[in-house]
Amino acid sequence: MPVVFSPGEAETRPLDPTAIVYTTAQKVADYLGIGPQEPVLVSADSVSDGVFITGDDYRRCGTEVGDTILIYSDANPLGVEKTITAISNGGASGVKLVFTGSFTHADFQAADNAYVQNNASFTNGTVGRQRGVTRAIVETRIKEIQDRIDNITHNAWRPYLVNAEYINFDTYKPYRRRYYTDYVGTTPLLFRNVQQMLRIELWQGDDYREIGAAEARISIPEDVRAISGSIVMSPGNGSAAVLTAGTSTSQWRADFDASTTAQNLADLINKEDRVSKAAVDFSPAFTLEGSTSNVATHNEFLATANADYGTGVVKVTSMRPVKAGETCSIVVTDSSVTLSQTQVNTATFSSLDSTTINVDSASGFAKAGVCVDASGDVFRYTGTTATSFTGCVIVVGSALSDIGGQITQHLPQVDLQGGSASGDNARLKDWWMDYEQGIIYFNNSYPFFEWNAVKVAYIYGERYLEKAIEEAATKMTVIDLLMSDDRTVLLPEGTSNIDMSSKVQLLQAEVNNILARYTEIVLFE
């Protein structure tokens, strides 16, 4: 597939296309009756935070971070289960499998015949390769199955991202003569089961008005090759992500023209896999509940670059709902790159006290965020007082002592009726939402009465993964594995009254019966 520099809006796709949601490799193995790996002896005495196995056993078993291992010995025959958090080189002792939590390592010494067993049935070790099916192969099949189920049912049990949906504003009200309605009009979305609205843009005749998220617009100059500097963003917790112009996968290219550069910047913020952009993590790094991956710009911001906003303009919105995104902050170090649609805060530097920067007034600044001075040096901070920024760390520049002159900060803004202070998303305010049906109700804010007057971005998908969908995904993966060449080696030995082809047919019939119940049909009147 050729690389397209300016594709416009990204297509509707899973929020995280690489996530394994509908089933797991282990559930597939359990259905096939494939047991865990054979246990191996420890290669050295266990320590408080880990156990050791030989390099050969490590490669054969394919043990990875996140796997659960069972450790047992003559001194503790019941054993304990631990989840591997790291794998390191133990030197002469072998490969160290590291884990956390209390561990009585004295019970699992080499003299006690201590064993380590990987509970995973499918691994990427030599055992998996000898079987012809590794965990990577199974998980690739699962990802394909997830897309297939979504296409068959016209629904999703994982978050889907709709980047841009152009729809009409409808003033029709059912039973308008019989019942009072507290809204001006509605906009039905293409998909229901909406989890979060990311953008609601209303056409006002000459521009889009954003009432669904806090936005900032970045304007790229015509002479892009003169750009040298960075764009620094903070999600509002005092961390910062630096987006620097350059040629690597973690940078944005300023090589051709303003339009292409703007698109490349948007691709970097969104971590667009189409052009192999890498994630730009916030520093200091932080994670959210249920995840082991660091939060990056694509987790907190959504960027768009197309003709809707003008040539060379990138619209950036916070993925935090409505006014919550106004706690974010953004600055630029190159004066030729400008920001608009923001609240601009300025202060005058007075002194530096360790990690505290004193100014004439910090009123209006975000409670935690990033700032830039007149020379292009950027610092992040974790708190404010009336006349100071506390917990300051240099982000762009050599030292905090270089900070001086005028200090500037831009805060993304929501264009609600009456301003951010008085407007809001509520039943009697600007807009409210029927998330299950996917309908937006407008009250004080609404677009012009024109075609495609509303432009939205949102996340949709069922919040609860039903067991029936999990069963269908598991059986579909099993079918794919059994039909891929000869995979009879996957099945445990034993007698069976049903041949392989009949099993596949029966499994497919069960899958069809399950998915028929969940297939959605759209009717047009």
Where does the pLDDT of residue 170 fall: very low under 50, low under 70, confident under 90, or very high at 90 and above?
A: confident
Average pLDDT estimate for 90-112:
93
Per-residue pLDDT of 357-378, as tens digits, reads 999 999 999 999 999 999 999 9
- Residue 109's nearest CA partner among 42, 40, 39 is 42
Where does the pLDDT of residue 43 fall: very low under 50, low under 70, confident under 90, or very high at 90 and above?
A: very high
pLDDT computed for residue 370 by the predictor: 97
pLDDT computed for residue 2 by the predictor: 46
DSSP state of 211: -
* Cβ-contact 414, 445 below 8 angstroms: no
403: region left, alpha or beta (phi > 0 left; psi from -120 to 50 alpha): beta
Measured at the CA of 349, the angle between CA 371 and CA 393, to 5 degrees, comes to: 45
DSSP state of 221: P
Average pLDDT estimate for 194-205:
92
Is residue 114 predicted with pLDDT exceeding 50? yes
452: region left, alpha or beta (phi > 0 left; psi from -120 to 50 alpha): left
Average pLDDT estimate for 100-121:
93
pLDDT-above-90 percentage for the chain: 64
Distance, CA of 114 to chain centre: 40
Q: How many residues does the chain have?
A: 525
Distance, CA of 317 to chain centre: 15
In this structure, which amino acid lies at residue 360? D
* Cβ-contact 194, 459 below 8 angstroms: yes
Per-residue pLDDT of 119-152, as tens digits, reads 998 988 886 676 678 899 999 999 999 999 999 9
What are the distances in angstroms from CA 100 to CA 61, 110, 297?
21, 21, 29
* Cβ-contact 242, 235 below 8 angstroms: no
pLDDT computed for residue 8 by the predictor: 66
- Pick from 39-53, 145-159, 282-296, 316-330: least confident: 282-296
Average pLDDT estimate for 318-341:
94
pLDDT computed for residue 172 by the predictor: 63
Q: Going by C-beta distance under 8 Å and a sequence separation of 6 or more, which residues neighbour residue 305?
A: 6, 259, 262, 263, 265, 266, 313, 314, 315
- Residue 282's nearest CA partner among 334, 215, 342, 232 is 232
CA distance 153 to 254: 42
pLDDT computed for residue 313 by the predictor: 94
Per-residue pLDDT of 273-305, as tens digits, reads 888 899 999 999 998 887 778 999 999 999 999
In this structure, which amino acid lies at residue 335? S
Per-residue pLDDT of 418-431, as tens digits, reads 665 666 777 778 88
CA distance 51 to 39: 13
For residue 247, count other CB atoms closer than 10 A to its CB. 9
Average pLDDT estimate for 181-204:
88
Peptide bond into 221 cis (omega under 30): no
Residue given tokens 């939402």 in the structure block: 433
Local structure of 326: helix, strand or coil: helix
- Largest distance between two CA atoms of the chain: 87
CA distance 486 to 399: 63
E-state strands within 148-283 = 160-167, 185-188, 194-203, 208-210, 215-219, 230-234, 241-244
Is residue 154 predicted with pLDDT exceeding 70? yes
Give the dihedral sign, CA 82/84/86/88: positive
Local structure of 400: helix, strand or coil: helix
CA distance 204 to 169: 12
Per-residue pLDDT of 226-261, as tens digits, reads 898 899 999 999 999 999 999 999 999 998 899 999
Average pLDDT estimate for 23-38:
91
Looking at the structure, give the CATH architecture of the domain made up of residues 36-120.
Beta Barrel (2.40)
* Cβ-contact 481, 133 below 8 angstroms: yes
pLDDT computed for residue 307 by the predictor: 73
pLDDT computed for residue 184 by the predictor: 82
In this structure, which amino acid lies at residue 107? D
Is residue 35 predicted with pLDDT exceeding 90? no
Neighbour order of strands in the sheet with 439-442: 185-188, 439-442, 431-434
pLDDT computed for residue 474 by the predictor: 96
- Pick from 66-80, 328-342, 400-414, 418-432: least confident: 418-432
pLDDT computed for residue 1 by the predictor: 39
- Residue 364's nearest CA partner among 389, 336, 334, 339 is 389
DSSP state of 110: G
CA distance 272 to 280: 11
* Cβ-contact 359, 345 below 8 angstroms: no
Average pLDDT estimate for 160-166:
92
Average pLDDT estimate for 315-344:
94
